[in-house]
């Protein structure tokens, strides 16, 4: 089906009378929601904070707001799983920093940096190891450049000559305090390949009996021209810059990754090779892993990695070969990698899953095995000669483990194990600190304690904390914890020995601001560092409450309830309701029942939030829990529809019992998997007056090799795929449904054809349905015009079919 690219939306109406359809289609062009909703959407975001290791400089960065549609309409190539701006050899649609302010905490004065490019469009901001400088990539319309800011003079300057190549992703590395490594467009790149007027033959793919299952991806290579364009745009030249001049190292290649060794002498690089795949994104193409001396000289081959096309696709499956090559942070030039001991098959029986290998490039040159894991290896945090932390886990069992590894003896001891769904037992991740080489190492206090940053999940909600964990005895003590009625998160641990931490503190009526806590002082001291104003004064007076309730089978649920300013249930009666949710799968009813999030969090508004409608006279239940539980040998999705009903019915009943929600006027909505949920609720229940489904997938046979947390294929569980597809029950949808989808959705599985076909099926059965396709939008929407119109569409739908239902 061919769609013309229009700057205005095509408003497609089906299943209504001709007069109604004509009236709706008479509305042309972009529309605006109520002024209060518009102003809330366009409110500038609060700055983000980053602090240097010394605790002196607080960097405040302000990001770009929503771009105009014209920016999204600029030329863009979609190849090999990438969205590319061919004009500047960078990823397209990249959010950038538009303002940088440096606050000297010793004087509490703000300083502007002299010589910054104007307008500023910065990405990838990185401190040098000694933090006397920081660098960033400036994205211009026709090229990208590397800039360095000197902290002594607070001045910026461009340091490169050749234009940067930021594909597949933007990035650079410090190789010491005064040396940078980055990628540029090769000097001999030549002209961009010309698109042929006609193909020189058919596009052919072939498989000769080899099993080659793959998940559904978008923006893939589809022709010889796409191959040529990918090779041309992604080929880069590595450069080394001493802040005075730049010089090339190695040969031009498609560099998928690069990492500087801790001693700043060598570069670990991953090079993509042919043949390119038409079924998987670039990161699954054949690769070479090499080590390249930064001073110059030939590269050393570490591994040849085959294409991942046809590799096992289970959630616990990995390639049967070396993977995850990286530097060991606590040694000058030691490579580590992982190899599977179970042929990469997570469903196979095995007492040990992975082995972690090491190769000291300054030693004998022979690899050695460091340790083995019983579950799938996920991470290692290096500390000293006796202490490193190893993480492992398995999706199938929802188990995760943290272990202590002794690099000197090779001993690996489990510290604790938990269900990955059990938030209450999560003690967090170890705190690290950067050494003089800029590598993050495990903090060890008093030769026995490590520090952990935890969300502090509990029946009272998230109360983040800093823990000290005794590596020898296993004891734990809380050094700091967020205090009610605030939600306060640790942003940085500035001094781990005599703890000084940077936090972001907020409450239901206080905007997030940054604070410094000196926990090591005789009298712990707290200093406010920022005082940002409330970006949403329009929401003042709107109440927020985390409510708890049970579904019929006893599973505990929660949700965030927003009620209009000045609302009095006794006087005003029950309100029309909007429920917004996203289903999640669990292997335990107890884990599913846990409280998630904080009742003290400040209300933030994103473009996709339902909270806008609390300003329009609705009771809004946001993040309504929709757990899907499958205990023991049962898979959660075997009972997906019945459990959706239990969740939705419980929420509606609770709001009615509270006297705030009119159970006869309830709308439901969601984005992506939440849209899938919405369509299923309308197909299988009569609980709602209307639904809003944005960028969803409605026919699971179009994602036959698994989706979301479903690991079984269509051929292994055909009834599950059929029963979970609202497309299968399009004839049962009698409740009005608004479908919205980005024209260029790039998310795996949510192709725009999902909404197109679902709309046609609904229309064919006489449903009340409206399908809005947003020009140039991806899975997440970005353009100002599209977002304002989206709010208008949703508002009109809710006003007509929910608030004024039956009128």
The catalytic residue positions are 672, 745, 779
Q: Taking a C-beta distance cutoff of 8 angstroms, is the pair 735, 668 a contact?
A: no
Alpha carbons 616 and 562: distance in angstroms, whole number:
11
Q: Taking a C-beta distance cutoff of 8 angstroms, is the pair 405, 371 a contact?
A: yes
Alpha carbons 511 and 43: distance in angstroms, whole number:
13
617 sits in the region (left: phi over 0; alpha: psi -120 to 50; else beta) called: left
Alpha carbons 89 and 717: distance in angstroms, whole number:
43
Tokens of 718: 């055909």
Whole-number Cα distances in Å, 731 to 363, 734, 737, 768: 69, 8, 13, 12
Straight-line distance from the first to the last Cα atom of the chain, in angstroms, rounded to the nearest whole number: 38
Residues in a beta bridge with 238: 183, 249
Contacts of 201-205 with CB under 8 Å at 24 or more apart are: 203/278, 205/278, 205/279
Tokens of 299: 């590269």
Q: Taking a C-beta distance cutoff of 8 angstroms, is the pair 254, 236 a contact?
A: yes
- Residue position matching structure tokens 């530097």: 327
Whole-number Cα distances in Å, 656 to 308, 562, 659: 52, 14, 5
Whole-number Cα distances in Å, 702 to 132, 297, 750, 765: 53, 49, 9, 21
Whole-number Cα distances in Å, 681 to 287, 472, 794: 45, 52, 18
Which residues 6+ apart lie within 8 Å of 502 measured at CB? Answer: 49, 51, 490, 491, 492, 494, 514, 515, 516, 517, 529
- Residue position matching structure tokens 């000291």: 360
What letter does residue 114 receive in the DSSP assignment?
Answer: B
Which residues 6+ apart lie within 8 Å of 633 measured at CB? Answer: none
Tokens of 262: 């801790």
Strand locations in 535-656 (E): 543-550, 556-563, 575-581, 584-586, 619-624, 627-629
Whole-number Cα distances in Å, 43 to 65, 271, 527, 613: 9, 43, 27, 16
Q: Taking a C-beta distance cutoff of 8 angstroms, is the pair 481, 490 a contact?
A: no
Closest listed residue to residue 576, CA positions, set 657, 659, 645, 667: 667
Q: To the nearest 10°, report the CA torsion of 68, 72, 74, 80.
A: 160
DSSP string, 479-521: EEE--TT-EEEEEEEEETTTTEEEEEEEETTEEEEEEEEE-SS
Q: Is the dihedral of CA 442, 335, 50, 242 positive or negative?
A: positive
Q: Taking a C-beta distance cutoff of 8 angstroms, is the pair 328, 338 a contact?
A: no
Helix (H) or strand (E) holding 506: strand 500-507
Tokens of 378: 């996920």
Classify 802 as helix, strand or coil: helix
Tokens of 258: 């690069």
């Amino acid at each position: 089906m061919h769609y013309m690219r229009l700057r205005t939306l095509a408003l497609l109406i089906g299943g209504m009378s001709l007069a109604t359809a004509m009236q709706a289609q008479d509305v042309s062009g972009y529309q605006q929601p109520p002024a209060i909703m518009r102003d809330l959407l366009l409110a500038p975001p609060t700055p983000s904070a980053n602090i240097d290791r010394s605790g002196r400089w607080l960097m405040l960065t302000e990001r770009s707001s929503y771009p105009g549609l014209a920016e999204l309409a600029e030329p863009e190539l979609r190849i090999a799983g990438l969205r590319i701006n061919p004009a500047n050899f960078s990823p397209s649609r990249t959010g950038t920093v538009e303002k940088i302010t440096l606050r000297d905490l010793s004087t509490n004065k703000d300083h502007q940096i002299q010589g910054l490019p104007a307008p500023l469009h910065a990405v990838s901001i990185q401190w040098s190891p000694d933090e006397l400088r920081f660098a960033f990539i400036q994205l211009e319309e026709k090229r990208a450049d590397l800039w360095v800011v000197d902290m002594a003079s607070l001045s910026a300057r461009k340091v490169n000559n050749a234009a940067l190549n930021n594909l597949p992703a933007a990035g650079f590395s410090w190789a010491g305090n005064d040396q940078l490594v980055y990628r540029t467009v090769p000097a001999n790149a030549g002209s961009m390949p010309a698109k042929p007027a006609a193909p020189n033959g058919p596009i052919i793919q072939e498989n000769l009996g080899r099993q080659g299952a793959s998940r559904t991806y978008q923006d893939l290579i589809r022709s010889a021209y796409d191959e040529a364009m990918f090779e041309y745009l992604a080929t880069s030249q590595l450069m080394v810059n001493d802040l005075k001049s730049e010089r090339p190292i190695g040969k031009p290649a498609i560099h998928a990754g690069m990492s500087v060794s801790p001693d700043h002498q060598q570069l670990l690089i991953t090079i993509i090779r042919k043949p390119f795949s038409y079924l998987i994104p670039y990161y699954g193409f054949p690769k070479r892993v090499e080590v390249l001396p930064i001073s110059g000289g030939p590269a050393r081959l570490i591994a040849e990695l085959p294409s991942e096309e046809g590799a096992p696709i289970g959630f616990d499956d990995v390639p049967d070969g070396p993977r995850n090559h990286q530097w060991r942070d606590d040694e000058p030039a030691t490579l580590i990698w992982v190899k599977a001991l179970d042929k990469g098959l997570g469903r196979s029986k095995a007492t040990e899953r992975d082995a972690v290998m090491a190769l000291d490039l300054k030693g004998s040159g022979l690899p050695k095995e460091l340790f083995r894991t019983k579950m799938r290896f996920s991470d290692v945090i290096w500390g000293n000669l006796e202490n490193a932390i190893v993480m492992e886990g398995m999706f199938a069992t929802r188990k995760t483990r943290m272990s202590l590894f002794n690099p000197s003896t090779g001993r690996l001891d489990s510290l604790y194990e938990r269900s990955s769904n059990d938030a209450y037992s999560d003690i967090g991740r170890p705190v690290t600190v950067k050494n003089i080489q800029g590598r993050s190492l495990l903090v060890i206090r008093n030769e026995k304690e490590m520090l952990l940053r935890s969300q502090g999940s509990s029946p009272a909600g998230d109360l983040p904390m800093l823990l000290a964990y005794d590596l020898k005895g296993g004891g734990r003590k809380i050094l700091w914890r967020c205090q009610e009625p605030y939600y306060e998160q640790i942003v940085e641990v500035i001094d781990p020995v005599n703890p000084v931490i940077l936090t972001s503190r907020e409450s239901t009526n206080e905007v997030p601001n940054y604070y410094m806590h000196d926990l090591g002082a005789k009298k712990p001291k707290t200093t406010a560092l920022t005082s940002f104003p409330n970006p949403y004064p329009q929401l003042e007076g709107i109440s927020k409450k985390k409510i708890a309730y049970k579904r019929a089978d006893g599973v505990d649920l929660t949700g965030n309830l927003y009620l209009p300013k000045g609302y009095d249930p006794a006087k005003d009666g029950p309100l029309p309701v909007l429920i917004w949710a996203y289903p999640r799968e669990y292997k335990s009813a107890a884990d599913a029942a846990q409280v998630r999030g904080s009742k003290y969090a400040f209300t933030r508004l994103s473009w996709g939030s339902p909270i806008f409608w609390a300003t329009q006279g609705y009771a809004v239940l946001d993040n309504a829990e929709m757990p899907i539980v499958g205990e023991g040998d049962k898979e959660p999705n075997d009972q997906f529809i019945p459990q959706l009903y239990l969740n939705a019915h419980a929420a509606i009943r609770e709001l009615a019992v509270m006297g705030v929600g009119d159970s006869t006027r309830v709308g439901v909505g969601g984005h992506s998997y939440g849209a899938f949920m919405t369509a299923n609720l309308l197909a299988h229940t009569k609980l709602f007056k209307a639904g809003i489904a944005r960028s969803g997938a409605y026919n699971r046979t179009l994602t036959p090799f698994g989706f979301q947390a479903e690991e079984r294929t269509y051929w292994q569980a055909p009834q599950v795929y059929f029963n979970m597809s609202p497309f299968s029950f399009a004839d049962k949808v009698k409740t009005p449904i608004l479908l919205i989808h980005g024209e260029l959705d790039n998310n795996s599985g949510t192709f725009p054809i999902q909404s197109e076909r679902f709309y046609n099926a609904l229309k064919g059965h006489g449903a009340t349905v409206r399908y809005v396709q947003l020009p140039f939008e991806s899975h997440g929407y970005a353009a100002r015009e599209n977002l304002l119109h989206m709010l208008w569409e949703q508002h009109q739908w809710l006003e007509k079919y929910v608030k004024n239902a039956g009128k």
